[in-house]
């Protein structure tokens, strides 16, 4: 059974995923890093050349491939929930944890990130985060087995909560 981390960027998925993987002696796979490796180009270049639809097509292929593996920790990109088939695949062999954070905390954590192009053109960064969170939150909620609020918690504390919940379900 895999541990699958979903949520908006800046909620701690990458750091928490590495901590969980280390504690369990498992591999942590970043979906975005896998997409970049397979494409041989960075996310902004993929989006520039293929649009968000092309990026999402690549993401779906990676989601299906990772869902076929076992006992890994999967750090999903924030938009993985944009396509229900991704969550169906990942949930078939995984426990899905939604890492949540407020828009203010997310902005503080990722405002200097240059590796992701804008999702909403013509908006301030804070407005974009708020708008996308509002749209995606119901999708994250529907896709997840558990919700973990990360505001005010260290990555180690978040990882500990996830491991406790996973163990109560026989992980």
Q: Show Cβ contacts of residue 24 under 8 Å, excluding neighbours closer than 6 positions.
A: 3, 73, 163
Q: Give 14-60 pLDDT, tens digit per residue.
A: 999 999 999 999 999 999 999 999 999 999 999 999 999 999 999 99
End-to-end CA distance of the chain: 7
Q: State the pTM of this model.
A: 0.90
28 CB contacts (<8 Å, ≥6 apart)? 17, 18, 20, 21, 72, 73, 74, 75
The CA–CA distances, whole Å, from 113 to 72, 75, 102 equal 26, 17, 17
Higher pLDDT, 126 or 137: 137
Convert the pLDDT of each residue in 83-132 to its tens digit: 999 999 999 999 999 999 988 888 888 776 545 555 556 667 778 888 88
CA atoms of 86 and 24, how far apart (whole Å): 25
- Domains belonging to the chain, first-starting first, are 2-162 (3.40.50.300)
Which H, E and C letters describe 88-128, residue by residue?
HHHHHCEEEEEEECCHHHHHHHHCCCCCCCCCCCCCCHHHH
On the question of pLDDT at 170 being above 60, the answer is no
């Amino acid at each position: 059974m895999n541990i699958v981390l979903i949520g908006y960027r800046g909620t701690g998925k990458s750091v928490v995923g590495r901590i969980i993987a280390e504690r369990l002696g498992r591999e942590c796979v970043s979906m975005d890093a896998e997409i970049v490796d397979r494409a041989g180009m960075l996310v902004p270049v993929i989006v520039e050349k293929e649009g968000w639809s092309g990026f999402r097509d690549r993401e779906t292929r990676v989601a299906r491939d990772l869902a076929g593996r076992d006992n890994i920790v999967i750090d999903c990109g924030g938009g993985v929930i944009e396509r229900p088939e991704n969550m169906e695949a990942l949930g078939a062999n995984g426990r899905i944890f939604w890492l949540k954070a407020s828009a203010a905390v997310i902005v503080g954590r990722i405002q200097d990130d240059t590796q992701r192009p804008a999702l909403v053109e013509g908006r301030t960064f804070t407005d974009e985060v708020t708008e996308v969170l509002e749209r995606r939150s119901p999708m994250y909620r529907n896709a997840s087995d558990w919700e973990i609020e990360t505001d005010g918690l260290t990555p180690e504390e978040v990882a500990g909560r996830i491991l406790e919940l996973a163990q109560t379900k026989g992980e």
